[in-house]
Amino acid sequence: MLKMSRDPVLRFTTLILITSSLFSYETEARLLHDNDMHNLNSIPEPPSSSFSQSQPPFISPNPNDPSQPPSPCQDLDQEVVHDVRNYGAAGDGITDDTDAFKTAWDSACSSDEDNNVSVLLVPYGFTFMIHSTIFTGPCRSYQYFQVDGTIVPRDGPESWPSGFNKRQWLVFYRINGMALIGNGVIDGRGQKWWDLPCKPHRNVNKTTALTGPCESPAALRFFMSSNLSMKGVTIKNSPQFHMTFDGCHEVHINSLRITSPPSSPNTDGIHIENSKSIEIHNSFISNGDDCISIGSGSYNIDIRNLTCGPGGHGISIGSLGNQNSLACVSNVTVRDSFIKFSDNGVRIKTWQGGSGSVSGVTFDNIQMDNVRNPIIIDQYYCTSKNCPNKTNAVFVNGIVYQSIKGTYDRRNPPIHFGCSNSVPCANLTLSGIDLVPSKGVTVVDPFCWNAFGVVDEFSVPSISCLKSDSSTLLLGDLLGKCGVL
């Protein structure tokens, strides 16, 4: 222990020396910074079609885990900012800034300073036009893609560069550790794509005329990536899906805003397939198709405090089993959410002829406001008038509907369980259901076909069409195809 002299002069001199030493040490520490860059070997670009891949290593979501990336606000000495303007981006909304973004990404991704995070900055007050681009990993440090300005593509299919994939715009491939953050906008400029003759459009009778499909880009695609976080950014007017996750693992979405007009075709807000451990919390989605669509190969999905609508098709599991395919979805929870002025509320949709299962799904504390089909299972999903009847079906089992309340459009039953003739829906559980017409007082009876389960006797409307759940003889075989048992 240091002992101070009782002599006032010596004590004052000692304090000056200690203070001077500490100041010198702090200054020297702040000046230590190494800016060397290292180039990564090139990695093949992802194909446009989706397919299953082996999952990346598990990343613990525990914030106290030392393996977790530091926040950029934690220690400014360890944050390296790569402003795209410093790499030649004009930000005038006219000049093609793709090369500048790619160079900035490569520089940030190749930085390997110990404990550093790299920030690719899209600054406020500028609009950056970039064409179809793939941001490739893995990177040598955790990446922050901070969007405070606006990013747009070229305007419409005719201006899309020849030879570039028309199914994707901004792709993040093999990234292990990235946060998409900021208060800016990713604007897909979708109107000219929606107006293509091959797109489904509303006719004068407000029915959908299907004349597709045709290629249009998803705004953001995350492919074979893990340890991802999104917060604060607005994504709007995508030509097709706004955001997709394919082959991803450990994704945390919070306070995201996704918007497009209710008439915009195929503009799903967030699409998930072949992915696990996905959280979507405290977000707002208003669009022309499913707010969230969950495809095959997805499990451990948690959706909480989501506002869905006005417009769109609600929250959907599916469509599954198209072209006689195997489809597996399990452990999905949707809770504490609000769906308003939408065609559907919570929906499971499967094609005839498929196989596999949807199991372990819970819809809890969902508020409906003027929703046409609040609760729906449709195992006869078809996008044309020529779908033949088939005996095989995806098995729907273990679905819980709890505290689903609000109003519905009287044109359809508030509850519709259209299950397969040969593969019944099993273990459906309904409690705390309180759905009343948005106009008038006449309550429409639920519809059930080959659906087995139990229901709370105090539910509104009264649900008497469910059969007692004794039809689970095929449970082992059906679920076994998905490796659940």
- For residue range 140-161, what is the model confidence (pLDDT) as tens digits? 999 999 999 999 999 999 999 8
| pLDDT over 60 (residue 203) | no
Q: In this structure, is residue 145 part of a structural domain?
A: yes
Beta strands in 268-391 (DSSP E): 270-273, 276-286, 292-294, 298-308, 315-320, 326-340, 344-350, 355-371, 373-378
38 is catalytic: no
Residue closest to 154 by CA, chosen among 103, 192, 110, 116: 192
Number of domains the chain contains = 2
Mean pLDDT of 446-456: 94
Shared-domain flag, residues 248 and 352: no
Tokens found for residue 62: 């525990």
Q: Give the pLDDT of residue 179.
A: 98
Instruction: Please state the separation of Cα 402 from the chain's center in Å.
Output: 24
C-alpha span between 9 and 164 (Å, rounded): 77
Mean pLDDT of 167-190: 97
Shared-domain flag, residues 258 and 388: no
Shared-domain flag, residues 169 and 281: yes
Q: Give the pLDDT of residue 155.
A: 95
Q: Give the pLDDT of residue 208.
A: 54
| pLDDT over 80 (residue 7) | no
Q: In this structure, is residue 395 part of a structural domain?
A: yes
Q: In this structure, is residue 402 part of a structural domain?
A: yes
Q: Per-residue pLDDT tens for 381-402?
A: 998 888 888 989 999 999 999 9
Q: Per-residue pLDDT tens for 188-202?
A: 999 999 999 888 764
Q: Give the pLDDT of residue 36.
A: 35
Shared-domain flag, residues 323 and 376: yes
Q: Give whole-number Cα distances, 380 to 224, 391, 394, 411, 449, in Å.
A: 31, 11, 11, 19, 11
For the chain, give the percent of residues with pLDDT over 90: 69
DSSP one-letter code for 205: T
Domain of residue 94, residue span: 78-196+215-289
Domain end, chosen from 289, 310, 339, is at 289
Q: Give the pLDDT of residue 410.
A: 82
Helices and strands per DSSP (H, E), number in the chain = 4, 33
For the chain, give the percent of residues with pLDDT over 70: 78
112 is catalytic: no
Instruction: Please state the separation of Cα 481 from the chain's center in Å.
Output: 26
Residue of 97, 106, 246, 289 with catalytic role: 289
Single pTM value for the model:
0.82
Residue closest to 180 by CA, chosen among 222, 216, 152: 222
Domain end, chosen from 239, 269, 289, is at 289
Mean pLDDT of 409-426: 93
Higher per-residue pLDDT: 269 or 61: 269
C-alpha span between 178 and 122 (Å, rounded): 15
The residues, ordered by sequence, that sit 6+ positions from 170 with a Cβ below 8 Å of its Cβ are 130, 133, 135, 151, 186, 219, 220, 221
| pLDDT over 90 (residue 111) | no
| pLDDT over 90 (residue 341) | yes
CATH number of the domain within which 273 lies: 2.160.20.10
Q: Give the pLDDT of residue 346.
A: 98
| pLDDT over 80 (residue 176) | yes
Shared-domain flag, residues 223 and 168: yes
CB atoms within 10 A of CB 390: 16
Tokens found for residue 483: 């490796």
Residue of 82, 249, 271, 313 with catalytic role: 313
Shared-domain flag, residues 171 and 233: yes
Q: Per-residue pLDDT tens for 238-258?
A: 999 999 999 999 999 999 999
Q: In this structure, is residue 156 part of a structural domain?
A: yes
Mean pLDDT of 46-55: 34
Higher per-residue pLDDT: 445 or 71: 445
Q: In this structure, is residue 353 part of a structural domain?
A: yes
Q: Give the pLDDT of residue 458.
A: 86
Shared-domain flag, residues 345 and 220: no
Q: In this structure, is residue 55 part of a structural domain?
A: no
Q: Give the pLDDT of residue 475.
A: 57
Shared-domain flag, residues 285 and 338: no
Residue 136's pLDDT band (cuts 50, 70, 90): very high
What average pLDDT does the chain have?
83
Shared-domain flag, residues 283 and 328: no
Q: In this structure, is residue 17 part of a structural domain?
A: no
Q: Give the pLDDT of residue 394.
A: 96
Q: In this structure, is residue 162 part of a structural domain?
A: yes
C-alpha span between 126 and 418 (Å, rounded): 50
Shared-domain flag, residues 342 and 410: yes
Domain end, chosen from 246, 268, 289, is at 289
Shared-domain flag, residues 358 and 467: yes
Shared-domain flag, residues 400 and 263: no
- Residues 248, 252, 256, 259: is their CA dihedral positive or negative? positive
Q: Give the pLDDT of residue 435.
A: 96
Residue 280's pLDDT band (cuts 50, 70, 90): very high
Q: Give the pLDDT of residue 442.
A: 79
